[in-house]
């Protein structure tokens, strides 16, 4: 059952609002469904360090998210990988897309040397500017 919403002016001309309301609801549902992102990398329990100012990446071109856990383990796509495997996967991604974006998320409890290893690996694989993820706070 549809609700008939009409507006009428002094001349007796009416505008049917139902199709417009239906279209707005359809667009709303479309955008809610279309903006569901794959968040497994971002949902991992990595305690990011704090930064004074941080911003998200402006263009998300098949962004690779590399997590470094507190023990120094490298996690890509939800599974542990070695530095050599990371380099191979990033090199393959750069070959497919020269503008490939890589974000490195290092746990604040890990040694900085572990994060530098991942950053060096990304540089060797062809990423000019890997992003280092932080959390705005304190």
Pairing of strands 64-68, 74-76: antiparallel
Cα–Cα distance list, 52 to 64, 111, 134, 135, 138 (Å): 24, 21, 9, 8, 8
pLDDT at 84: 93
Task: Evaluate whether 87 touches 124 at the Cβ level (below 8 Å).
Answer: yes
pLDDT at 58: 45
The per-residue pLDDT for range 89-131, each reduced to its tens digit, is 999 999 988 888 999 999 889 999 999 999 999 999 998 888 8
Predicted confidence (pLDDT) at residue 33 exceeds the cutoff of 50:
yes
């Amino acid at each position: 059952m549809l609700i008939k919403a009409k507006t009428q002016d002094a001349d007796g001309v009416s505008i049917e609002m139902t199709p417009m309301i239906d279209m707005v609801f359809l667009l709303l549902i479309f955008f809610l469904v279309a903006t569901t992102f794959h968040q497994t990398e971002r949902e991992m329990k990595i305690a990011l360090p704090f930064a004074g100012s941080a911003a998200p990446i402006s263009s998300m071109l098949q962004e690779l998210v590399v997590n470094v856990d507190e023990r120094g383990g490298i996690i890509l796509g939800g599974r542990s990988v070695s530095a050599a495997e990371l380099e191979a996967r990033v090199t393959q991604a750069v070959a497919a897309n020269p503008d490939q974006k890589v974000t490195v998320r290092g746990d604040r409890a890990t040694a900085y040397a572990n994060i530098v290893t991942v950053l060096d690996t990304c540089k060797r694989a062809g990423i000019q500017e890997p992003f280092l993820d932080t959390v705005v706070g304190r």
